[in-house]
A and B are shown apart, each in its own frame.
Chain A
């Protein structure tokens, strides 16, 4: 099953990227996530690994994932190492007016699980889709709030200098 959601954030890609690259932020903005921990020495970047869990139906599902693509301010993709099969991608594209279009792609399943697996994917899709939409809305809120704070701090600094 493949899910795809997107949103436009009133902030440049750099700000959005910086927020997404920090693993400690995921518990704050990702809906349904109950665990997002760094696994190993590498905290971020290509090859970084995380133990993540998301609540779906009666269980917390997830496993160990690894960042497999890291194109700064544009694309970040991950793939599962252990647990339920999953691939995810953050896709950031700058719009003409300085805003950023953020797309979240998420594909999941259990290889070899047959018809029950297919039904489980269909049944879980609405809940997971809701998690993705809420996550994007929360990401937008957080990043835009960060931007407002940064702008306010800059204005204060300018006033103090004047």
Chain B
């Protein structure tokens, strides 16, 4: 801009609007002015695009934190079932046992162990099994981490009935008479190191028991195996998460470290990975009516221990059936 003013001053000194050299100078000035205007437009366009992007991202994250149960789209689910079936049948050789243990109707809290890093093939398989067994017409929701819903696949998951994990959203889904799938172990359990793959680890998160009691719904434990063999999970990275303070800023308790395709060493697993074709088996256990079994004022810790012990026993039985990792 200083150069522009300098040139203008020189033009004034040279006689303003007279012809000859003055005219050439005026043309140069006009050209410079045009470039400056064009540059300003580009900058404004860039700022506008950046603003739109930031605004869009902020809106997406905000939206991910709210639960609109109406986002579930039965027609979309129905039309995408063949693709899910192909993936779970050909790649994961999936098997779901005893779906009949899920009550035929009414609200129910499905409590599952979680495995497979951010790719979670157990969720894919169980969701397919639920919708093919009961039909896409039955309301079914799954709770997921905020960041999962804010990711590019969040929009697809939302149409499948996935909502951000929070007690309010869970309560709202159950109040609507839906089946609700929760993973109390969440981001902690999904990244368990490979040597702990046959362990149910909810990190003492007992909220699901209170949720079932408040809503007065049965708990149906769901146990899956195989997901933790889709990559070589080495560490939660819990200390790293605390050191980087993402446990507070992003509700991330872990920054997992694994060996996974196609990255080799995979830190964070934020971009996901290509899962190994491990055989996934899911077993649904009998429903637990908490008040009928533990009395009107049950001890939450006792119920938690009962559920996790049942799931651990089942997981060990499923593990005993497996002869080889990945192959199953």
Contact = CB atoms under 8 A, between A and B. Distances in A.
B265 interface: no
A111 B75 CA distance: 10
Interface stretch (B61-69, B78-86, B270-278): B78-86
B93 interface: yes
Interface string B84-101: 011011101111100110
Given A57-B89, A83-B135, A119 B82 contact: yes
A120 B85 contact: yes
Nearest to B137: A82
A123 B129 contact: no
A160 interface: no
A58 B94 contact: yes
A56 B81 CA distance: 13
B153 to A, nearest CB: 17
B95 to A, nearest CB: 6
Contact of B83 (A53, A61, A116): A116
B125 A112 contact: no
Chain B binding surface, main DSSP class:
helix
A63 interface: yes
A61 B129 CA distance: 8
A116 B78 CA distance: 12
Interface string A108-123: 0011111011011101
A58 B85 contact: yes
Contacts of A119: 82, 86
A110 B76 CA distance: 11
Most buried by A among B75, B78, B128, B129: B78
Contact of B79 (A82, A110, A121): A110
Interface string A45-64: 00000000100111111111
B132 A59 contact: yes
A59 B129 contact: yes
A4 B88 CA distance: 27
B96 to A, nearest CB: 7
Nearest to B128: A59
A113 B129 contact: no
Most buried by A among B82, B88, B132, B137: B82
Interface in A38-95: 53, 56-64, 82-84
A57 to B, nearest CB: 3
Contacts of B125: 58
B125 to A, nearest CB: 6
Interface of A: 35, 53, 56-64, 82-84, 110-114, 116-117, 119-121, 123-124
Given A56-B85, A58-B96, A124-B85, 6 more contacts: A57-B85, A58-B88, A58-B95, A83-B132, A110-B78, A113-B79
9 contacts: A58-B92, A58-B96, A59-B85, A113-B80, A113-B81, A116-B86, A117-B79, A120-B82, A124-B85
